[in-house]
Amino acid sequence: MAEKTFQFPTYFKLLLIIITTLGKIVTAEEISAVENISDKLRNDTESLWKVSRDFGNIVHEVPAMVFHPASVDDIANLIKSSYSSPVPFAIAARGQGHSTGGQAMARDGVVVDMAALRRERKKKGVGGISIDVYGEYVDVGGEQLWIDVLNETVENGVAPISWTDYLYLSVGGTLSNAGISGQSFRYGPQISNVLEMDVVTGTDVFVKWIRLLYSDFSAFTRDQERLISIKALDYLEGNLLMHQGPINNWRSSFFPLSDHLRIATLITKHKILYCLELSKYYYHHQSQENVNKEIEELLEGMGNIPGFYYEKHVSYVEFLNRVRSGELWLQSQGLWEVPHPWLNLFIPKSQIMQFNSGVFRGIIFKRNITTGPVLVYPMNRSK
């Protein structure tokens, strides 16, 4: 009988559920109040005992409850309940409990039994393991066991290339600790062979969105370059404000109406203003006071015009989708079906001052040709 050979996909995709929050002792009443998950909580002695020790059998931590999720949404709802609490309670994901130092435990918190999710998916006929039709990757739930991944892939003539010596472990469990074995010298640890990872966090992300005004282009570019060099922000852009265009344009209504006259007066005085736009992302449970302090320290010593500082706090989705609302408004006014010429230019740092004087002031302003946005923002050459 001829020996069967297998193809070896370089990567696998993964639905990995990583849950780690630290905080207060949780009560049964607090967790049971969370919608649609109260029937999945256990606090009987046997359930608690099973998750209060691991393979190392050195650390023993008893949780307040054990959570048996039936779906990823259940886990997200649990985490959201923690973040909505005044002080987040501890949550830990437990696969096969093969850790050696209590990593899958949550003292006085909630342990998520990932095996329950695996059983629920199997009962519903959703195995949590699917192979790409071309055999290039396998899509795996973090709660799945490596032995099942092996059996499923081998049946299809393919297999991952990096393993652990023991296969009755959860995919999420070994990847959280790299996943090392005798194949690692050649293919790297298991985590190095992950193509894509979906992480369930349950948190809501918000954006502190700021605009500053400049009359000095050199100060404007200097501050932009400094801000991208320290890598403390999540977004940084800039644009020109001139008489030719509205103070608030279709891309974003940001400046308060009460300040339009002040800004217009400033434009009249300086001909062109340069607007620096920056954003910092933060999670729901993070203190806005801390975020504000971080931004305040970041902007100390900036060369913007004093007294012209504007900020908003918006959701992550609202910020990223900010241009769409303007587009829909233009469509509703019948103003969208017009030519949309657009030009992107990369200007070297050594020529940016000449570009400002020759193009922004010497052509665009003098010829009054701008009716759309003029954006200016720096790029790191390495990116």
Residues 223 and 184 reside in one and the same domain: no
Distance (Å, whole) CA 88 – CA 26: 9
* Claim to verify: residue 194 and residue 209 sit in the same structural domain: no
82-121 residue pLDDT tens: 776 666 678 889 999 998 888 899 888 899 999 999 998 8
d(CA 245, CA 370): 7
Cβ–Cβ under 8 Å, residues 96 and 115 = yes
Nearest Cα neighbor of 202 from 104, 318, 317, 284 is 284
Residues 250 and 308 placed together within one structural domain of the fold = yes
Reported as a pLDDT band with limits 50, 70 and 90, residue 81 is confident
Give the DSSP letter string of 135-203: SS-EEEETTSBHHHHHHHHHHTTB--S---S--SSBHHHHHTT----TTHHHH--GGGGEEEEEE----
Nearest Cα to 80, choosing from 114, 118, 38, 31?
31
What pLDDT, on the 0 to 100 scale, is given for residue 245?
59
Active site residue 98: yes
**Of 175, 179, 178, residue with least CA distance to 114:** 175
Q: What is the mean pLDDT of residues 18-22?
A: 41
Q: Same structural domain for residues 157 and 302?
A: no
What residues are paired with 24 via a beta bridge? 89
Q: Are residues 83 and 137 in the same domain?
A: yes
Let me know whether 267 and 180 are in one domain.
no
Annotate 65-78 with b (16+ C-beta within 10 A) or e (fewer): bbbbbbebebbbbb
Q: Are residues 98 and 171 in the same domain?
A: yes
Contact 295, 310 (CB under 8 A): no
Of 161, 185, 200, the last residue of a domain is 200
To the query of whether residue 327 is one of the catalytic residues in this protein, the response is no
Structure tokens at 381: 């050459």
For the chain, how many structural domains are there in total? 2
pLDDT reported for residue 101: 87
Of the candidates 98, 113, 148, 277, the residue annotated as catalytic is 98
Residues 6+ apart with CB under 8 A from 46: none
pLDDT at 342 (0 to 100): 86
Q: Is residue 115 part of a domain?
A: yes
Determine the structural domain holding residue 307 and report its residue range.
205-367
> Tell me, what CATH number does 340's domain have?
3.40.462.10
Instruction: Supply the pLDDT for residue 203.
Output: 66
Write the CATH number for 180: 3.30.43.10
pLDDT category at 283 given cuts 50, 70, 90 is: confident
Q: Which of 165, 296, 300, 337 is catalytic?
A: 165
Inter-CA distances, 176 with 86, 197, 220, 370, Å:
28, 12, 43, 52
* Catalytic site residue from 30, 204, 237, 311: 237
Residues 222 and 244 in one domain: yes
What does the pLDDT look like over 32-75, one tens digit per residue?
555 567 788 988 999 999 999 999 999 999 998 999 998 888 88
Active site (annotated) includes residue 259:
no
Dihedral (Cα; 256, 258, 259, 265), 10-degree rounding: 140
Say whether both 224 and 317 belong to one domain: yes
Q: What region, left, alpha or beta, does residue 231 occupy, with left being phi > 0 and alpha being psi -120 to 50 degrees?
A: left
Instruction: With beta carbons less than 8 A apart as the criterion, state whether 313 and 209 touch.
Output: yes
What pLDDT is recorded for position 16?
A: 44
Evaluate if residue 22 carries a pLDDT over 50.
Answer: no
Identify whether the C-beta of residue 275 lies closer than 8 Å to the C-beta of residue 210: no
Q: Is residue 196 part of a domain?
A: yes
Q: Are 129 and 219 in a shared domain?
A: no
Sign of CA dihedral 25, 23, 199, 318: positive
- Block residue for tokens 């194949």: 183
260 against 9, higher pLDDT? 260
Residue 319 has pLDDT above 80, yes or no: yes
More confident residue, 135 or 27: 135
Q: Position of tokens 């909505």?
A: 84
- Measured CA to CA, the distance from residue 190 to residue 179 in angstroms comes to 5
